[in-house]
């Protein structure tokens, strides 16, 4: 009997230890017809990841473990190159570090953001795709390895750049459209930015520009208070993040 009790205690201790070091695996896949340079930003108050940027060739995969209770965002830089001094710069969603690693600098908008809070309220992961800061590339989130939980895939597959209103264009040096700005970024008014007198859900309503983003990507955030149809939850999953889920 004593041996059985010792064995049970050992199994319980092992289980608790494993829970303590549990991590979520994020796998990134690039289905774009070009290389992208994903960036990673950890939210304030959480330990940053050891990697904050990497290069991902067309059709390549890359996986990273992320610890419990992490929160932050991912995005894809586009059109990156090194100048004569080896400083890296990108046509869209650059983080301004001049390096492959973003070193906890965020994306310069417009940028399509993938946002996560792991193991939050009730042990749930909260996640979303956001076009609040504009759009640069299509993306999807697919939960993996589920344990019977009800988790949703999230998709923003439309190439919003191809239909972006002219006043929101972000152009590269060659004249190509590499991003679609938010109305807040383009016009910088309280009404479009949901600030000042418009800093509440009742006062800040979706503009015609926000409605354009929402029509193109119904599951993604289109403006600051678009929570009802844009936040998703899951428990106990890993995640596949695909850039250009339908190749462009």
The CATH code of the domain that includes 74 is: 2.60.110.10
Contacts of 30 (CB under 8 A, 6+ apart): 36, 56, 57, 58, 59, 60, 61, 76, 242, 243, 244
What pTM value is reported for the model? 0.89
Residue 13 clears pLDDT 50, i.e. is over it: no
Q: Is residue 220 part of a domain?
A: yes
pLDDT given for residue 146 in this prediction: 77
Q: Is residue 226 part of a domain?
A: yes
- At residue 159 the predicted structure's pLDDT band, cuts being 50, 70 and 90, is very high
Q: Is residue 50 part of a domain?
A: yes
The Cβ-side half-sphere exposure at 176, using a 13 Å CA radius, reads: 7
For 167-190, the pLDDT digits (tens) are 999 999 999 999 999 999 999 999
Q: Is residue 189 part of a domain?
A: no
Segment 71-98 shows an average pLDDT of 97
Instruction: Give Cα separations from 6 to 1, 14, 15, 146, 193 (angstroms).
Output: 9, 12, 14, 32, 60
Segment 180-209 shows an average pLDDT of 97
Using DSSP's 3-state secondary structure scheme, residue 199 falls into: coil
pLDDT given for residue 19 in this prediction: 41
Residue 148 clears pLDDT 80, i.e. is over it: no
Instruction: Give Cα separations from 150 to 23, 153, 233 (angstroms).
Output: 20, 10, 9
Average pLDDT of the chain is 90
Structure tokens at 73: 């965002």
Residue 44 clears pLDDT 70, i.e. is over it: yes
Q: Is residue 10 part of a domain?
A: no
- CA–CA gap between residue 53 and residue 100 (Å, rounded): 6
More reliable by pLDDT, 21 or 233: 233
Using DSSP's 3-state secondary structure scheme, residue 126 falls into: strand
Residue 10 clears pLDDT 90, i.e. is over it: no
Q: Is residue 134 part of a domain?
A: yes
Domain that holds residue 109: 23-161+210-243
pLDDT given for residue 12 in this prediction: 35
Burial category of 118 from C-beta neighbours within 10 Å (exposed 0-12, middle 13-18, buried 19 and up): buried
Q: State the first-to-last Cα distance of the chain, in angstroms, to the nearest integer.
A: 64
- At residue 58 the predicted structure's pLDDT band, cuts being 50, 70 and 90, is very high
Residue 20 clears pLDDT 60, i.e. is over it: no
Segment 229-246 shows an average pLDDT of 95
pLDDT given for residue 150 in this prediction: 76
- CA–CA gap between residue 225 and residue 132 (Å, rounded): 9
Q: What percent of the chain has pLDDT over 90?
A: 83
Q: Is residue 41 part of a domain?
A: yes
Residue 85 phi, psi (nearest 5): -95, 10
Q: What percent of the chain has pLDDT over 70?
A: 89
- Count how many domains the chain has: 1
More reliable by pLDDT, 40 or 23: 40
Q: Is residue 60 part of a domain?
A: yes
């Amino acid at each position: 009997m004593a041996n059985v009790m010792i064995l049970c205690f050992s199994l319980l201790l092992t289980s608790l230890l494993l829970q303590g070091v549990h991590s979520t695996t994020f796998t990134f896949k690039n289905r774009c017809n070009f290389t992208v340079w994903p960036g990673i930003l950890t939210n304030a108050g959480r330990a940053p990841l050891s990697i904050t940027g990497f290069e991902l060739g067309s059709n390549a995969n890359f996986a990273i473990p992320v610890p419990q209770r992490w929160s932050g965002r991912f995005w894809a830089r586009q059109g990156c190159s090194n100048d004569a001094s080896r400083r890296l710069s990108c046509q869209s969603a650059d983080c301004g570090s001049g390096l492959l690693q973003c070193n906890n600098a965020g994306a310069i908008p417009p940028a399509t953001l993938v946002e996560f809070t792991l193991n939050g309220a009730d042990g749930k992961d909260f996640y979303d795709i956001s076009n609040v800061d504009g759009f640069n590339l299509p993306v999807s989130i697919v939960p993996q390895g589920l344990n019977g939980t009800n988790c949703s895939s999230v998709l923003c597959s439309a190439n919003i750049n191809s239909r972006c209103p002219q006043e929101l264009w972000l152009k590269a040096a060659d004249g190509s459209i590499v991003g679609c700005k938010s109305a807040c970024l383009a016009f910088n008014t309280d009404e479009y930015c949901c600030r000042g007198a418009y800093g509440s859900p009742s006062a800040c309503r979706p503009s015609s520009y926000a409605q354009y983003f929402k029509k193109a990507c119904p599951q993604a955030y289109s403006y600051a208070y678009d929570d009802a149809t844009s936040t998703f939850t899951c428990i106990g999953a890993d995640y596949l993040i695909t850039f250009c889920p339908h190749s462009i």
